[in-house]
């Protein structure tokens, strides 16, 4: 019935439940302990580890509670610093499953089915992946399930002098210092569960407000640490404007709202959410999930059903409407972790569906089967199927992809070099190895955008420094150290491409296509290219970009006679290694970059690349592809075709930073109006 009342557990039941909670914790934590990576990973992993190690400030909105608690984990006397922080996430994830069990126990009145909910969620694809790395989502789910449990337990037996609402308010405020956007989306659900007690809560409103404010105190600690820590994402928070810039995530405004995203992308993400929800628990769990979603309206109180539906919708469809992401591989990777609260709700529906299905099936079975094999057998098989289905991509104790890349970058640099890092995939791993583990202390890491490290050339918030190129050029002139960078550093000097990074060659205002192939870099690429494309989506993205850089390096070396290398080596086999989208596109780039550009060869390579656009990581890469098409046709004298391709390039990257913008302005004159 929709107005069904959830019964209060007896004291004896609560004592038994304590043992169940301990078992849930040990099973889930043991699984995470064995599967957690022992070193740094991609995405935000390196950033959060450095923030924890230096007790600093992570990227907006700062996550001060996670950073502070993870800092305590760095004092563990065993393992690498990365593994210690990973274990903190594992601890939070395991405790989240314990509170999910307690919440499900109240709703389902069945310890067995509560086990199904907790373990299925603990072994689900996305939550498992985020509970074994340095990320905030496991702590976020710990808060969510703890609050849901406390709210529903309070609703069972509210008393006039009950202090549980004060605890709920404090924990709610505290949860906002970890991941306020996701908790904000879940707030209507908490209100729905507490709605029957609104008169009692209204009388306590001033005290509740004070408790929420007390929970927000870690933000004050964040401001203090931003002034003194070696790691502060945007630098010192010096005034209210700086604090609001951090808290409101203004720095991510352009990332959250792509200029090229539209309603088609939102529809694609909506379909992705549905398929990902099913994938979390595998095909065997899907029928039970659907049954549970339908049956909840008969099995649970209406306000609870409404709360669960609100959590699911807010963290899927509402979030999709708020964000304007391109539906490409990069943004799918960014978005895939956001619906974790929705997957937690789906685990509850899954367990209810299993319970209802067994109740229906038990009518046709013998009593001994009904109370034995059918219940425990099906539940065990379902949990095992979830684990088996998600283990291949989450057993990552031996994953060293990111650390091998970072070691290759740092170990191939000359003594006393300065390296300007850029983006998550280079900054996190190299920063961790250099700043935390002390690899190559003679190398100085700096950020080309003024982020993360204390030796920034400028403060990036709230409005930026203005002319970044002038600031960078002043720094180049002021030092006699060799300066290396990833492609985004703005400067006006010659550059040399080493395959993994570039070097500034001071002394000229012209550009240069100089390429340097070192044995160390070629050896790294040989090892990396021989590996299969990684399972992890982030590693797959980096693999594809690295393959493009490798092909650019090799294609340049093959065409040049200035390198004392053995061109018969398999590492220079372009036909073998460089026939994917990025390999073909970068080979075309090299053909167009010659002193005498070969536009015919470039067009052939670009047409082959266009047939493989399903491998594209970001929409912006299509802008590059069509710009190269335009350049090829312009060099071949076909102005109309060139203008068309430049226009298509601008469709995928409609900003002045797109080089097609300048070419389009001059094309009518250079093409004679054709």
**What distance in Å separates the CA atoms of residue 371 and residue 366, rounded to the nearest whole number?**
9
What pLDDT was estimated at residue 14? 61
pLDDT, one tens digit per residue, over 195-227 is 988 888 888 899 999 999 999 999 999 999 999
Q: What is the mean pLDDT of the chain?
A: 89
Q: What is the pLDDT of residues 391-442, one digit of tens each?
A: 999 999 999 999 999 999 999 999 999 999 988 889 999 999 999 999 999 9
- Worst-scoring range by mean pLDDT, 69-73, 95-99, 282-286, 400-404? 282-286
527: exposed, middle or buried (Cβ count in 10 Å: 0-12, 13-18, 19+):
exposed
Q: What percent of the chain has pLDDT over 90?
A: 65
For 16-22, what is the mean pLDDT?
84
The residue count of the chain comes to 674
Q: What angle do CA 536, 626, 264 make, to 5 degrees?
A: 60
Is residue 421 within a helix (H) or strand (E), and if so which, with residue range? strand 418-421
The DSSP string of 304-341 is HHHHHHHHHHIIIIIHHHH-B--SSHHHHHHHTTTTHH
pLDDT-derived band at 12, boundaries 50, 70, 90: low
Q: Band of the pLDDT at 116, cuts 50, 70, 90?
A: very high
Residue 2 reports pLDDT greater than 50: no
pLDDT surpassing 70 at residue 10: no
269: CB partners within 8 A, 6+ apart: 320, 325, 327, 332, 335
Whole-number pLDDT of residue 674: 36
353-377 per-position pLDDT tens digit: 999 888 887 666 655 555 567 788 8
pLDDT at 673: 40
Q: Which of 269-283, 339-353, 461-475 has the lowest mean pLDDT?
A: 461-475
Residues 6+ positions from 425 with CB-CB distance below 8 Å: 42, 402, 405, 538, 541, 542, 545
What's the order of all strands across the beta sheet hosting 514-515?
A: 444-447, 418-421, 483-485, 502-505, 494-497, 514-515
CATH architecture of 535-670: Alpha Horseshoe (1.25)
| Out of 96-105, 132-141, 199-208, 246-255, least confident range | 246-255
Please list the alpha-helical segments (H only) found in 399-536.
401-411, 424-431, 468-478, 519-530
Mean pLDDT for the stretch of residues 536-563: 85
Beta strands per DSSP E along 506-591:
514-515
Residue ranges of domains in the chain:
11-394, 401-515, 535-670
Q: Please, what is the angle between helix 340-362 and helix 137-156, to 10°?
A: 50
Is a pLDDT exceeding 60 seen at residue 669?
no
**Residue reference for tokens 């040399």:** 496
Examine the pLDDT at 235 and tell me if it is beyond 50.
yes
Beta bridge partners of 497: 502, 515
- The CA-atom distances, in angstroms, between 473 and each of 24, 35, 295, 467, 479 are 57, 46, 66, 10, 10
Residue with the bigger pLDDT between 368 and 637: it is: 637
Q: What is the pLDDT of residue 1?
A: 38
| pTM reported for the whole predicted model | 0.92
| Residues in Cβ contact with 206 at an 8 Å cutoff, skipping those fewer than 6 apart | none
Helices and strands in the chain, H and E counts: 31, 6
Lowest mean pLDDT among 87-96, 259-268, 436-445, 527-536: 527-536
Range ranked top by mean pLDDT from 188-192, 357-361, 564-568? 188-192
């Amino acid at each position: 019935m929709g107005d069904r009342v959830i019964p209060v557990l007896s004291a004896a039941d609560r004592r038994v439940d304590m043992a169940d909670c301990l078992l849930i914790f040990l099973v889930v934590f043991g699984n995470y302990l064995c599967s957690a990576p022992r070193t740094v990973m991609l995405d935000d992993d390196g950033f959060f580890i450095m923030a924890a190690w230096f007790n600093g400030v992570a990227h907006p909105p700062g996550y001060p509670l996670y950073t502070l608690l993870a800092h305590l984990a760095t004092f563990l006397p065993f393992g690498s610093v990365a593994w210690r922080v990973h274990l903190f996430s594992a601890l939070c994830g395991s405790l989240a499953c314990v509170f999910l069990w307690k919440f499900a126990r109240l709703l389902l009145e069945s310890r067995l089915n509560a086990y199904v909910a907790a373990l299925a969620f603990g072994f689900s694809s996305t939550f498992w992946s985020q509970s074994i790395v340095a990320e905030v989502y496991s702590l976020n789910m710990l808060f969510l399930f703890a609050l849901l449990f406390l709210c529903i337990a309070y609703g069972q037996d509210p008393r006039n002098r009950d202090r549980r609402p004060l605890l709920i308010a404090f924990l709610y405020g505290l949860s906002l210092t970890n991941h306020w956007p996701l908790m904000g989306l879940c707030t209507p659900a908490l209100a729905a569960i507490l709605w029957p007690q609104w008169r009692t809560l209204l009388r306590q409103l001033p005290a509740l407000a004070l408790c929420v404010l007390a929970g927000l105190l870690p933000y004050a600690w964040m401001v203090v640490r931003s002034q003194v820590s070696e790691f502060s994402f945007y630098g010192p928070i010096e005034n209210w404007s700086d604090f609001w810039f951090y808290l409101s995530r203004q720095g991510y405004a352009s990332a959250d709202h792509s200029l090229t995203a539209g309603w088609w992308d939102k529809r694609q993400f909506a379909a992705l959410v549905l398929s990902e929800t099913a994938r979390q628990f595998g095909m065997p769990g899907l029928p039970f999930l659907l049954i549970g979603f339908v049956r909840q309206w008969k099995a649970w109180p209406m306000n609870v059903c409404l709360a669960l539906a609100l959590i699911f919708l807010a963290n899927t469809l509402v979030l999709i409407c708020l964000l304007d992401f391109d539906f490409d591989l990069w943004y799918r990777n960014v978005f895939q972790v956001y619906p974790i609260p929705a997957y937690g709700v789906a685990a509850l529906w899954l367990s209810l569906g299993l319970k209802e299905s067994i109740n229906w099936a038990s009518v046709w079975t013998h009593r001994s089967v009904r109370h034995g094999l059918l219940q425990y057998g099906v539940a065990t098989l379902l949990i095992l199927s979830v684990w088996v289905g998600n283990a291949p991509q989450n057993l990552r104790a031996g994953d060293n992809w990111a650390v091998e890349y970072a070691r290759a970058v740092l170990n191939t640099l000359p003594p006393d070099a300065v390296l300007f890092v850029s983006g998550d995939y280079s900054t996190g791993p190299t920063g961790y190895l250099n700043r935390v583990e002390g690899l190559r202390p003679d190398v100085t890491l700096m950020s080309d955008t003024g982020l993360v490290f204390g030796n920034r050339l400028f403060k990036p918030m709230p409005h930026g420094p203005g002319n970044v190129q002038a600031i960078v050029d002043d720094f180049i002139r002021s030092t006699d150290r060799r300066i290396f960078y990833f492609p985004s550093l703005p400067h006006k000097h010659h550059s040399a491409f080493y395959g993994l990074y570039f070097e500034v060659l001071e002394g000229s205002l012209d550009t240069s296509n100089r390429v340097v192939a070192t044995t160390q870099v070629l050896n790294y690429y040989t090892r990396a290219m021989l590996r299969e494309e990684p399972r992890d989506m982030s590693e797959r993205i980096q693999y594809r970009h690295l393959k493009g850089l490798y092909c650019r390096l090799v294609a340049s070396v093959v065409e040049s006679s200035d390198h004392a290398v053995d061109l018969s080596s398999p590492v220079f086999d372009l036909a073998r290694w460089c026939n994917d989208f990025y390999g073909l596109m970068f080979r075309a780039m090299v053909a167009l970059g010659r002193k005498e550009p070969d536009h015919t060869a470039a067009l052939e390579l670009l047409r082959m690349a266009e047939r493989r656009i399903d491998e594209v990581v970001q929409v912006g890469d299509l802008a590059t592809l069509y710009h190269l098409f335009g350049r090829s046709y312009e060099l071949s004298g076909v102005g109309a075709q060139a203008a068309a391709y430049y226009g298509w390039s601008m469709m995928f990257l409609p900003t002045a930073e797109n080089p097609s913008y300048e070419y389009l302005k001059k094309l009518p004159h250079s093409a004679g109006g054709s």
